[in-house]
Structure 1
Amino acid sequence: MTTQTQRTVVIADHDYGDVDIERAILEDAGLRLVAADCRTEDDVIEAARDADAVIAQYATVGARAIGAFTRCQVIARYGTGVDIVDVDAATRRGILVTNVPSDWCEDEVADHAMALLLAAARKVCVYDRATRAGTWRWQSGAPIHRLRGRTLGLLAFGAIAQAVAARAQAFGMLVIAHDPYLAAEDVAAHGAQPASFDELLEHSDYLVVQAPLTEDTHHLIGEPELRRMKPTSILVNTARGPIVDDAALYAALAEGWIAAAGLDDIEEEPAKQRNWAPVNPLFTLDNVIITPHAAYYSDEAIHTVRDFAAHEVARVLTGRPPLSPVNAAQLAVVRTGPSPVGADGGERV
């Protein structure tokens, strides 16, 4: 049971092996830490109903969970994307949401995107399988095309995508980018040619998806889009799995609408499930490379994201402003109106 002088922080889920980094930071701030293993929203409600703060990696903190919280002041995301949190619901309850700015893993994700692209384009896995099976022939990877002079398309053009662009340019590729939230001159200022979504699909030899997962981007790459891509093109997704329709991608790869794919996540997002099994048909194909949502990983990046998320919670619960608030502006508007009512019927102050 918590006391009036010691508030509780619940880590809803994590796959780091321990919570030593977070514990040191939070206990130093006079806070109590509880580590849970939530996979469902019901799990989150059970573990964090009376918590003062919640930190989440993959577990969904949706409107139902937020409505059940009795005293939560801040929800901190391990990472940059906040698609697992219902930010609007949090705002209505007067709860601050924080994330970690994307530079914590900018180089890692950009490197991983290029690694997937290069492995697929140079048929690294095809050669490896053939060689292990006793076939020592350069022809086992044919056809392979030169990267220099090819067009790399970027879906979204934030900091990570810009880092991918710089790497692609070093290989002699032409870079085009589509980002509806950036002016054409801003895209051009970072060395890419602005393109419409249609142009991106039709002209890219390599298409790298680095967009956030939103209602608008869910299944943004589906059958119509894949059919418009070049039959020699390679799709790389180092963003969220559900941006790509896996069933459509399977058909595209199996029937030759596109040549190959490199995926750092798949649509069902296995890390968000309990007792996941690898039954996705994409695993049966030789022309797709799949990594376990590992693009962000390096020892240095993991330390940074854990340290930052824990410090954000400590800052908020000790009365200091967070460094990376997601909904601070919306909360300011809410707080100038009537006080939001908590789930227990009382006013949230």
Structure 2
Amino acid sequence: MLKSILNKLLAGNPLQDRDWRSLEQDALSDMRRAAAFDGLSVTVESDIQRRAALLQRVYPEFCAFCQATLGNPADFLITLWQVWLPLAQQLADRHQQVGRPFVQGILGGQGTGKTTLGKLLTVILRHLGLNALNWSLDDLYKTFSDRQALQTQDPRLIWRGPPGTHDVALGIETLDRLRQPSDQIISIPRFDKSLHNGAGDRTTPDLVQNIDIILFEGWFVGVQPIDPAAFDPAPPPILTEADRTFARDVNAGLQDYLPLWKRLDSLWVLYLSDYRLSKQWRKQAEHQMKATGKLGMSDPEIEAFVDYFWQALHPTLFMPTARQTAELAIEIQPDHSIGALYRSMDVESPLVRDSK
């Protein structure tokens, strides 16, 4: 029913009153989702009409985006309507409310779709007259030479990624410049993971100006340190005393990132319904890559790689707190679709908080 109404709208056919009522009923069918989008601003009727107009403007470019990245646009029409358009509209409202560039943090592990979400929101926001910047915590990795020296100091840092492998001061400096409403040209650090045989290194920065919204994503963006007692006992693969020491040290290292997180105006958390899906999906991706003749990891190598990051910041220890302290939590299901979407009970909308 919903899909047929949306297709009718996209075909340029006028909607009947019953169609508009159906769209309004759908918007309120999941009250947690409705509350996540500020209870649907102003009135449901005006919000639906605004979203319908945006859908018509966005859809041609959305189709091109899907064909290049996701697949058949028709398979994602409902998600576009129910989730992606409202998220973009909410960001536009946030930007207008704060009166300066708005920094949206996006926390999500591998396979949660955080990078794709950022790119798609950039497309939609452009149709709302807003210039968005996609930026990743990965872009703040220390240089190759600095990480080589770091690994000499701490041989446990065998992979880039855990706390301690980023230039936090550079991130703070960059976000501080981006948050200032100005037409000055700003240098955005970028990282090329293919350099040095996959070890990666800094590459030529991007030069940007007049940015309205910054979408800052990463696998532990916004994550807070937890009580060290949580590691006694700890879930697998944190098994040995050496594993627990590493996990505690990484947890302590999150303290250095707190000043960076303070630059976020809001945080969304994308979380897997079962965190173990990330290992399964990584294996599938590597198998598909090798089937095309490219090099890829073996299954044992993938096991060791993913286990390393679970030993550093285990999802069952850190994600529950992140979901409670983020503004929005978005569940990703085994088929990669979006499940629950809700606002944390402990976090007020910035629109509400800033009005007090």
Q: Which has the higher helix share?
A: 2
TM-score by shorter chain over 0.5: no
- TM (norm. structure 2) is 0.28
Larger radius of gyration: 1
